């Protein structure tokens, strides 16, 4: 096991960061609302992602992946065949995500961004979401003990995040690094109501781009996870209705 670093109050909801992939298993700890595998992407992976962003007409991918499709990723994502390092990394993360949560099917989004997808701080109403930024600034997030959650959404009274009192100081805002793999526990994780990780998309400068990968629950294969209403399985997550960054 790798040594992992807890960020935030040890007795409250906090983030767990580690330098090896087994850090992601920390998401199952009751008071962890984000687990991060801190990694440095290879030069080859970064170069391929930059080349993909430079392709004219590349608008991203949004699809569901079953175990069978993961084994035949060239068929599901044929335009990634020229990018073997990126394709291999997507397969790795998708297999890890599926295995960790016992999922038969996952939702995948690979998204090129030239602006902020979700510029306001928010929580996701999903059990858990994997996010990694291949190119550009990573997702911004707030430690649980530094958030006034009553100021989220309509509670802001129309004020910006900086003006509403959501956080006391700009220094509270944390940023994931490019290449970091983060599991963000949402409001639909049983027992995590009121503690979903508060996060937002970073500002993207006019001459910059981001390449973002997100993975979501679609169909459970009998894991012990359940929704707050104690139903037997995780309901499908709509890839159209939920925020992704």
Residue 234 domain-assigned (yes or no)? no
Q: pLDDT tens digits, residue range 107-140? A: 999 999 986 667 899 999 999 999 999 999 999 9
Question: Which element (helix H / strand E) includes 33?
Answer: strand 32-37
Distance CA 57, CA 78 (A): 15
Residue 244 domain-assigned (yes or no)? no
Q: How many domains would you assign to the chain?
A: 1
Give the CATH number, domain containing residue 42.
Answer: 2.60.120.10
pTM over 0.75: yes
> Domain containing 111: what range?
4-220
Residue of 49 and 1 predicted with greater confidence? 49
pLDDT at 134: 98
pLDDT at 179: 97
Using alpha carbons, select from 194, 239, 236 the residue that is nearest to residue 105.
236
pLDDT at 231: 26
pLDDT at 119: 83
Q: pLDDT tens digits, residue range 140-185? A: 999 999 999 999 999 999 999 999 999 989 999 999 999 999 999 9
Residue 231 domain-assigned (yes or no)? no
Question: How large is the average pLDDT for residues 52-80?
Answer: 92
pLDDT at 204: 85
Distance CA 218, CA 240 (A): 13
pLDDT at 206: 81
pLDDT at 9: 53
């Amino acid at each position: 096991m790798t040594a992992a670093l807890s960020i935030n109050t040890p007795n409250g909801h906090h983030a767990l960061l580690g330098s090896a992939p087994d850090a992601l298993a920390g998401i199952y700890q009751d008071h962890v609302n984000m687990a991060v595998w801190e990694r440095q992407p290879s030069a080859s992976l970064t170069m391929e992602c930059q080349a993909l962003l430079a392709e004219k007409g590349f608008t991203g991918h949004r699809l569901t992946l079953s175990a069978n499709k993961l084994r035949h990723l060239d068929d599901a994502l044929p335009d990634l065949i020229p990018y073997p390092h990126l394709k291999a990394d997507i397969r790795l993360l998708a297999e890890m995500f599926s295995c960790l949560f016992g999922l038969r099917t996952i939702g995948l989004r690979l998204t090129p961004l030239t602006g902020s997808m979700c510029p306001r701080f928010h929580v996701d109403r999903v059990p858990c979401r994997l996010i990694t930024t291949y190119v550009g600034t990573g997702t911004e997030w707030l430690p649980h003990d530094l958030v006034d959650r009553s100021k989220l959404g309509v509670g802001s009274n129309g004020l910006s995040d900086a003006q509403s009192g959501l956080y006391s100081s700009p220094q509270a805002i944390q940023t994931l690094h490019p290449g970091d793999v983060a599991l963000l526990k949402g409001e639909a994780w049983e027992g995590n109501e009121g503690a979903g990780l508060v996060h937002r998309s970073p500002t993207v400068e006019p001459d910059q781009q981001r390449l973002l990968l997100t993975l979501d629950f679609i169909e459970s294969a009998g894991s012990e996870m359940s929704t707050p209403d104690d139903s037997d399985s995780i309901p499908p997550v709509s890839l159209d209705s939920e925020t992704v960054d």
